[in-house]
Chain A
């Protein structure tokens, strides 16, 4: 009788089964299927079908992340998937040097020759196949369409490749700014390639014959092209084998050789038995609703918050229009003078808000013609400026204002608003009718509406159906409250444990809510939120989410029937409130102009400063708009052709970030007898550059620093970063080393400094572990540093021992006389003192000037390295363009140690606490804290800084920054802050 080997690969999104003839090794049967979260059922079903082909004794093994638990319960053999891949490749293809395999949510690299190594993506590096699915859904494209588009790209945008959430934050603004899908499709692929090279290979070169495996690399030809082009592989070196998507399954089948023999019906029996056995074991959350009645009561309660409507077809008179151009959806509201709703619109914008809004406006103008006069139009949301310019709206307002205005219409006493939209989550607390604190989700936790939508789509449901399933789930699964990437793998685990779609749906709702409550609002007590809570945003139309929210905070809330339209509704209200006369007319384009309107987008680089903003230039066509341009993507006003900035905005003289940057860049090389030395301008060097530069220059070295960072600089060093969760400023130092190497520098000096200078403002004066020891990491990870002289001594200028130790060090290392070093050290201390004095007097003067001119001062408080334009993404310029004087935390002269409730042991952080105390005690001085994603210490400082400010009734604003370059959220926040303090 013929024997068979069967391999079953249960991945995160698909199941693959192969049946090999044991005698010939031929594949006699195979199948590839998406399992839509029903991995067990699908695997069993496929095996049942395989039985027709494998009608004899079989050996079999499972592989894939979703098979772990399944096989443990059924006592069937499990083979780790990377291991299985290697077996299959070695046996089937032989002569291969490296394997790149992309799966649903995993990415792997295997090096087979020259020191075998197997690597998988870390838990933070988001998926690949699932990531492409997510991106395609974001663009409203099928995978085939996406793939086809990618071949027609003209340029590639940098898209954060670390994880899906980040990439999304990069893509969304590109879309909103009008970038074309062809380019975005190719950019998405390219981001996967860089992630694979940077995140997985980490400096090890992928060369020789490279084999590409897994579903995405089988089906997506464009992705293949990106890989082969980037790796520089020709046809003989890029191997795309047949059945590439089956290699894990084949490896599992091969591995099963020699194991216990089964019959397929027997295996199915075991699987079934295992399922029955453990079905009830796992932890579950309480159901959202215990009965239909409970649900009905809930619905009835929420049905009360409605808005009266009037019939647009019969109405005559004035009307006001509000447009909310959100990240994924576009909303319109038209209301009459009594606030009655005449018309509303809510639909996804498929990444292209302009045509959607244009079509709507045309329709509205047509229906209104003669009867209804639009007296005012206001635009809000991500696409605010583009739309305002394109269609000549009267007002553009910040989202918080729009939502606040809307919420007040439902509950005049509203004191807390939470809005969960497609991409972002906004919460604000109101005190005496003024925004008192604003909370936005960070780039990392955008587990919002579009997440559920995409997830529902991936499981084959519409968002509404999916939500409905969750309402009466008996055992909602607990999925954690972190970012979507983690949720993805939590869901994977839940599936693994056998949870049903209904339980997953309910669990996701609870997760989104927990994310909001714990991650964004960060509260535990409903009383902290307020008495009058209004919830809104399209996501809250989902009853499961609303219910989960009420349950979580233990408090009932108001959900307006217009929950999804609140931004637009608020904008319309705003337009009505801000219309001058009773017979005013909106500046909105006429029907004729709208019909003629079109828009062309081109991208360009602004070359006016170091930020080198990637601009999208939209040129409007037709009617009165003909030839008008709108530029987006810029941080400051420079590319708009305005000198200095807009009216009321300050120039660089009002900006400590510019001032400090110029001071540092003035440290120029002076030819010296001892040759060149390079200083990487990263982390702590941003403050100590004047010290080290002077010391080494005085010693007769020609001192070159690596200059400011840029995206390109980052990319040159990306492949040697060993920990993908370290902060962005630390990652950038890899690029700085490359920059120095590229200059031909063969001596690099970068000391390790556990301690910083003691300014007497804290209990100790440490540097953080990353700032302190990163030089040692660089030497261990950048192979070229082994070939040159890279000096990372523990030479601490804060210590009294420094002159003596420095003398000894330079004598031993360079043969420099002690006297010479000691003189140079004196000069270095002077230079550092002069630098500090300059920065402090800048602070004094700027504060005085701001007070004289009656302007707002914002202390943009972070770390010295935040002056790097690639780190701060130009947020200081944004503040300047909003009319503020911008200081940094180190512009304030060190004073007394301020009382804090934490261990105040880091020099940089002592300044933060001091700056917060300073701002808290003064009118017209605000503090905005800049935090690098991944900065562990700021988990401690941010809470403390918040406390210090809020104790004195100040608004705390935090902006998290990373490699992503999305100023949208920062802008909303800063505008809201200023609006609140200026109110």
Chain B
């Protein structure tokens, strides 16, 4: 075991020594994005393990480790880590954990603390936990990177978003099953070889798009379903009972908004706050930078997709923000905040009226910006076919599936009417 060093608040630090010897366990969320992240960290000499288990034991371990009424994502992420730690696969004196921290007014900012409490409860207080965030919280001497590596990490979001988007638009129509997934694999490798460089961004984005566009497909009318909601539940198969697979099996095309919007949103709402309450203007600079860089990435991504006419082009952040403005203020920023409302409206505007709004049971921000806005949105768009689905350790798949099937029945009927 490395020497345990604590900061002035008593937080166990992840040290240089640990960097050399420890294995960092990373919880799964977005497969493409996370694969990139893991590879980058490995290149930097970290030992990193991506946790992919979806065993039912995760829920039980989560229930044992954190308060039952804690949001489901925390329960799953922590449960997944506990399962890994208990598996005996790792040297308990040489293992570290990493978890994201958003720093907003939602419960999610507390996940890292809940994780530390859970570790302590099991007598594992010596395991360091690294906070992964954009806001500069909880710095660790052993978890610092050169500007070049930071730049590579930025690239993750734009490349992975594009790959995910194109794959989603291609997979349901591919003539040879598995083509899209093979293409994901191919580009993941290639991008890693060129270290996710954002130097020739436009050219690379165009090349990825062209390759996906070259996959032989048969475009036929299919039910298209937008999936929005709380970020973890929306993206993680573990959180949403493999929703994307369920929809694929039902013969649907799935539209999942990318991570770029969320990252820009994080920068944007901080800027709004800074202006509104005049706080921490220095931090405002970082947010401004985040917003500028990622908005630039997004424009490039949109430009690349636009090259192929058969692809649906995702909306620009500014458009989503404007659409959300009809319902909630841009000061509504906790959790997914107004972005969630905006994504729903944008999907409807893009002609994707079938929407699943996913959230953990009792998700506080989603009471407002998700479920809370559906009525107003429906008022303006009477044909919107929206279903809200709650996920939690006790919710049953049958119940969720049945609701989703109702939404799909209506969607199919409309599709038939439209093609008739």
Contact = CB atoms under 8 A, between A and B. Distances in A.
Interface of A: 65-66, 68-69, 78-83, 115, 117-118, 120, 122-124, 202-203, 283, 478, 480-483, 486-487, 489-490, 492-493, 496, 518-519, 522, 524, 722-723, 725-726, 730, 752, 754-755, 764, 766-770, 772-774, 776-777, 780-781, 792, 794, 796, 798-801, 805, 901-903, 905-906, 934, 936-940, 942-943
A774 B368 contact: yes
Nearest to B279: A799
Contacts of B69: 936, 938-939
B105 A766 contact: yes
B278 interface: yes
Nearest to A804: B278
Contacts of A800: 278
B316 interface: no
A776 B399 CA distance: 30
B399 A123 contact: yes
A726 B361 CA distance: 10
Contacts of B406: 80, 82-83, 118, 120
Contacts of A493: 396-399
B179 interface: no
Nearest to A511: B394
Contacts of A482: 68, 392-394
Interface stretch (B19-27, B112-120, B157-165): B112-120
Contacts of B328: 773, 776, 780
Interface string B53-85: 000100000011101111100000000000000
Interface string B365-403: 111110111111010001000001010111111111111
Contacts of B397: 493
B242 interface: no
B229 interface: no
B110 A903 contact: yes
Nearest to A84: B409
B251 interface: no
Contacts of B334: 754, 766, 769, 772-773
A770 B331 contact: no
Interface of B: 56, 63-65, 67-71, 105-107, 109-110, 112-114, 116-117, 121, 273, 276-279, 327-329, 331-335, 361-369, 371-376, 378, 382, 388, 390, 392-403, 405-406, 408-410, 413
| Shortest 8 CB-CB contacts between residues of A and residues of B | A482-B394, A486-B394, A766-B105, A939-B69, A780-B376, A777-B372, A83-B409, A799-B277
A122 B110 contact: no
Nearest to B75: A939
Nearest to A481: B63
B396 A777 contact: no
B35 to A, nearest CB: 28
B277 A755 contact: yes
Contacts of A496: 398
Contacts of B114: 902, 940
Given A493-B398, A522-B67, A905 B105 contact: yes
A23 to B, nearest CB: 25
Nearest to A482: B394
A722 B357 CA distance: 14
A801 B277 contact: yes
A770 to B, nearest CB: 6
Contacts of B375: 202-203, 722, 780-781
Given A122-B390, A770-B364, A770-B368, A796 B110 contact: no
Contacts of B110: 902-903, 940
B363 A773 contact: no
A85 to B, nearest CB: 11
B395 A123 contact: yes
A723 B373 CA distance: 10
Contacts of B277: 755, 796, 798-799, 801
Given A773-B365, A936-B364, 4 more contacts: A123-B399, A487-B394, A769-B365, A801-B276
Contacts of A69: 398
A772 B56 CA distance: 36
- Which residue, of B64, B396, B409, has the highest number of chain A Cβ atoms within 10 A? B396
- Which residue, of B69, B329, B393, B405, has the highest number of chain A Cβ atoms within 10 A? B69
A68 B405 CA distance: 10
A773 B328 CA distance: 9
Contact of A936 (B363, B373, B394): B363
Contacts of A801: 276-278
Contacts of B331: 752, 754, 794
A340 to B, nearest CB: 43
B77 to A, nearest CB: 15
Contact of A481 (B373, B378, B394): B394
B250 to A, nearest CB: 11
Contacts of A794: 276, 329, 331
Contacts of A767: 105
B105 A754 contact: yes
A353 B68 CA distance: 35
Nearest to B402: A65
Contacts of A478: 56
Contacts of A934: 362
Contact of A939 (B68, B279, B382, B388): B68
Contacts of A78: 405
A124 B363 CA distance: 13
Nearest to B63: A518
B109 A939 contact: no
B105 A906 contact: yes
B376 A905 contact: no
Given A80-B406, A723-B372, A796-B276, A124 B105 contact: no
Contacts of B372: 722-723, 776-777, 780-781
B396 to A, nearest CB: 4
A936 B362 contact: yes
Nearest to B360: A936
A801 B333 CA distance: 19
B332 A752 contact: yes
A481 to B, nearest CB: 6
24 contacts: A65-B399, A66-B398, A78-B405, A81-B402, A115-B382, A481-B68, A483-B394, A487-B394, A492-B396, A492-B399, A518-B68, A519-B68, A522-B68, A723-B371, A725-B390, A726-B362, A730-B367, A767-B105, A769-B365, A772-B105, A773-B332, A776-B329, A781-B375, A936-B69
B215 to A, nearest CB: 29
Nearest to B387: A120
Nearest to B379: A783
B361 A725 contact: yes
A769 B364 contact: yes
B121 to A, nearest CB: 7
Nearest to B273: A754
A297 B388 CA distance: 51
A943 B117 contact: yes
Contact of A124 (B113, B390, B403): B390
Contact of A489 (B65, B105, B276, B399): B399
A452 to B, nearest CB: 17
B362 to A, nearest CB: 5
B31 to A, nearest CB: 24
A943 B67 contact: yes
Contacts of B378: 117
B370 to A, nearest CB: 8
Nearest to B111: A903
Contacts of B393: 480-482
A694 to B, nearest CB: 22
A936 B71 contact: yes
A65 B398 contact: yes
Contacts of B409: 79-80, 82-83
- Which residue, of B331, B367, B382, B397, has the highest number of chain A Cβ atoms within 10 A? B367
Given A481-B63, A773-B334, A80 B405 contact: yes
Contact of A940 (B64, B67, B116, B373): B67
B142 to A, nearest CB: 22
